[in-house]
Amino acid sequence: MQMQEEWFIPISALNQYTYCPLRCWYMHVACEFVDNIHTVEGSLLHERVDTGEGTRRGELWQIRSVYLYSKTYGLVGKADLIEERSGELYPVEFKKGRRGDWGNDKIQLCAQALALEEMLKREIPRGFLYYAATGRRQEVRFTEDLRQETLITIDRVRELLRSGARPSVSYVAKKCKGCSLYRICLPRETALIKKQLTGRTRSV
Ligand code: SF4
């Protein structure tokens, strides 16, 4: 079954959603975005790699900034880099920081692989995340579990964008402190006010 065009979602929204559903809502429903040091560094890194150029060195063939789509899953997006080495083809996604604990980068990469598989009609068993802070590539295997998790996330993001309902999330210091939307979202302050209001209601 093919998805209707109006239900196509950006692959990058899967990353935002997995990091924090509210962040995805702010960016893709409320259309709010604020840069911080992390997002500016990330944009500069992508500017450097988004050249659209293809190169070949021996067995290695590389093409940068490749548009992707999947009619089956209703996805559109861009891969930073597609490589083919010794007959194996895979996506590489560039991230400016270090590997996080949230699984969001893997979901984004897996969605890129799903789109590539559909476009090229070949299996993509793995891809790589390149973290600029460490200068290392991390291999990501597109296991059945990761594929399932990615499909579930696609459904959840589509539902979020369709309904427009603001998700309710909790303040998580490690996550929220690095979030460029902190000053709009004020998650800690909101949690404190909610706590005070609940206490007041109980004492009435
Ligand atoms: S500040 Fe925290 S709760 Fe708010 S959008 Fe960012 S990560 Fe989500």
Per-residue pLDDT, 40 = 62
Rounded distance from Cα 135 to ligand 1 centre (Å): 27
Q: How far apart are CA 122 and CA 102, in angstroms?
A: 29
Give the pLDDT band (50/70/90) at residue 204: very low
- Both ends of the chain: CA-CA distance in Å? 56
Angstrom distances, CA of residue 72 to CA of 33, 40, 52, 151: 29, 33, 25, 11
Length of the chain counted residue by residue: 204
Rounded distance from Cα 3 to ligand 1 centre (Å): 30
Q: Which atom of ligand 1 is nearest to the CA of 185?
A: 4
pTM (predicted TM-score): 0.86
Minimum mean pLDDT range among 25-39, 112-126, 130-144, 175-189: 25-39
Give the pLDDT band (50/70/90) at residue 100: confident
Residue nearest to atom 5 of ligand 1 (CA): 23
Per-residue pLDDT, 56 = 85
Q: Position 148: which residue type?
A: Q
DSSP 3-state helix, strand, coil percentages of the chain (rounded to 5)? 45, 25, 30
Per-residue pLDDT, 186 = 92
- Residue 109 CB partners (closer than 8 Å, separation 6+): 91, 93, 127, 128, 129, 140
For 115-143, what is the mean pLDDT? Answer: 95
Give the pLDDT band (50/70/90) at residue 148: very high
Rounded distance from Cα 174 to ligand 1 centre (Å): 10
Per-residue pLDDT, 99 = 74
Rounded distance from Cα 146 to ligand 1 centre (Å): 24
The domains of the chain, with CATH numbers, are 5-168 (3.90.320.10)
Phi-psi region of 99 (alpha: psi -120 to 50; beta: other; left: phi over 0): beta
Per-residue pLDDT, 149 = 98
Rounded distance from Cα 38 to ligand 1 centre (Å): 14
Residue nearest to atom 7 of ligand 1 (CA): 176
Rounded distance from Cα 185 to ligand 1 centre (Å): 6
Residue nearest to atom 2 of ligand 1 (CA): 176
pLDDT tens digits along 29-85? 998 776 565 666 666 666 666 666 788 888 899 999 999 999 999 999 999 999 999
pLDDT tens digits along 15-32? 999 999 999 999 999 987
Q: Which residues line ligand 1 (CB under 6 A)?
A: 20, 22-23, 26, 169, 175-176, 179, 181-182, 185, 187
For 169-187, what is the mean pLDDT? Answer: 91
- Compute the mean pLDDT over every residue in the chain, rounded to the nearest whole number: 88
Per-residue pLDDT, 102 = 79
